[in-house]
Amino acid sequence: MMNKEEFIQLLQDKKYKTAQNILSEMNDMDTAAFLEELDAKECALAFRLISKEKAANVFSCMSSKMQTYLVDMFSETELKELLDDLYMDDTVDMLEDLPANLVTRILKNLDSNKRSTINKLLKYPEDSAGSIMTTEYVTLKKTMTVKQAMNHIKDIGIHKETIYTCYVTENKRLMGIVTAKSLMTSDDDENITNLMNMNIISVHTHTDQEQVAHLFRKYDLIAMPVLDSDGCLVGIVTFDDAMDVMVDETNEDISRMAAMEPNEKTYFETTVWQQAKHRILWLLVLMFSATITGSIITRYENAFSAVPLLVSFIPMLMDTGGNCGSQSSTLIIRGLALGEIHFKEIFGFAHLGVGF
């Protein structure tokens, strides 16, 4: 991979074709990471060199800070072209982090159908299945044959986020699931009803996203259908979004294990005051508990005077207690994250000897 200085030199020398060829050979995620290392103006110039087919995927991999800058820099035509190729769930994720003025500008450049869908997705509770789902999926009819289904996928598949799993619906109700593998390995005149799997793992729009991620891990799914309160199919959650949820939830658990409030921003995006705000409450709690420990030790000053050797055991006992607490909290929090432990089982820890 070309280093940053060499690439910047290409831009300065206006060797745009060479720079474009370099970007076209890179993976979408690597391209996004590479552009993030550039200055804002250089990033905007380099992004315009990326092919239209690749630009949307690269944009969705970028940080919200860089997305905000690029959206602000784009012309109306460039913005509309990007939004046309951007998947619905990625568009919603972007809108949640953008300033209000840019959100208004983006919504103005969307057609009425997309704008209506996005407004619905934005209304779902944060951290719910509805907030991370996409509405771009393939639906099939029960009356279709394999040949008709394949032709249908060829017609619309390019605009869908995934075609590996297709959904058989009737009046918007989910009847079954058909995989691309079963379609490609079956006869053309085979009916869809003979191939579809009716043992469906699904969630509702208000299901917590952590539960969704747990189901992905448990059943090794590629995508999961999302149903509304009436049992109608309204979207799907794909495995890449489920993995993002797993990472976010793990970061949240680790922060709580370290006695800090979870923070969605990166370390360098967080100000000193925000860092202090996330940590001060637990630091005060720990300081209060340390004060209690100090008062207990003070009560035994006479014993320490009589046997000074006892003082040498204090650091050992305090460090052992701290280490024991860290080990116990790590085991319990990790067990909660993996679904091995539930809050209803809180009284079942007595046999563990308070964490041991």
Question: Per the domain annotation, does 130 fall within a domain?
Answer: no
> Going by C-beta distance under 8 Å and a sequence separation of 6 or more, which residues neighbour residue 329?
257, 355
Q: What is the domain count for the chain?
A: 3
* Pair (275, 232) in one structural domain: no
Indicate the residue among 206, 238, 270 that finishes a domain: 238
Indicate the residue among 238, 263, 298 that finishes a domain: 238
* Pair (150, 208) in one structural domain: yes
Residue 267 is predicted with a pLDDT of 61
* Pair (33, 115) in one structural domain: yes
> Going by C-beta distance under 8 Å and a sequence separation of 6 or more, which residues neighbour residue 180?
153, 163, 164, 165, 166
- For the range 51-55, what are the long-range contacts, defined as Cβ-Cβ under 8 Å and sequence gap of 24 or more? 51/20, 51/24, 52/81, 52/85, 53/85, 54/24, 54/28, 55/81, 55/82, 55/85
Residue 175 is predicted with a pLDDT of 94
Question: Per the domain annotation, does 75 fall within a domain?
Answer: yes
pLDDT in tens, 53-72: 899 999 989 988 899 999 99
Point out the residues of the chain with pLDDT beneath 70: 1-2, 256-270, 336-339, 342-356
* Pair (291, 339) in one structural domain: yes
* Pair (9, 105) in one structural domain: yes
* Pair (79, 18) in one structural domain: yes
Q: Kindly report the CATH number assigned to the domain that includes residue 74.
A: 1.25.60.10
* Pair (213, 257) in one structural domain: no
Q: Kindly state the DSSP code that residue 159 receives in the 8-state scheme.
A: G
* Pair (95, 163) in one structural domain: no
Beta bridge partners of 169: 174
Indicate the residue among 65, 89, 123 that finishes a domain: 123
Residue 146 is predicted with a pLDDT of 96
* Pair (196, 307) in one structural domain: no
C-alpha count within 13 angstroms, C-beta hemisphere, residue 228: 11
> Going by C-beta distance under 8 Å and a sequence separation of 6 or more, which residues neighbour residue 94?
60, 64, 67, 71, 86, 106
Q: Kindly report the CATH number assigned to the domain that includes residue 190.
A: 3.10.580.10
* Pair (54, 152) in one structural domain: no
Question: Per the domain annotation, does 133 fall within a domain?
Answer: no
* Pair (104, 168) in one structural domain: no
Residue 356 is predicted with a pLDDT of 44
Residue 355 is predicted with a pLDDT of 47
Host domain of residue 178: 139-238
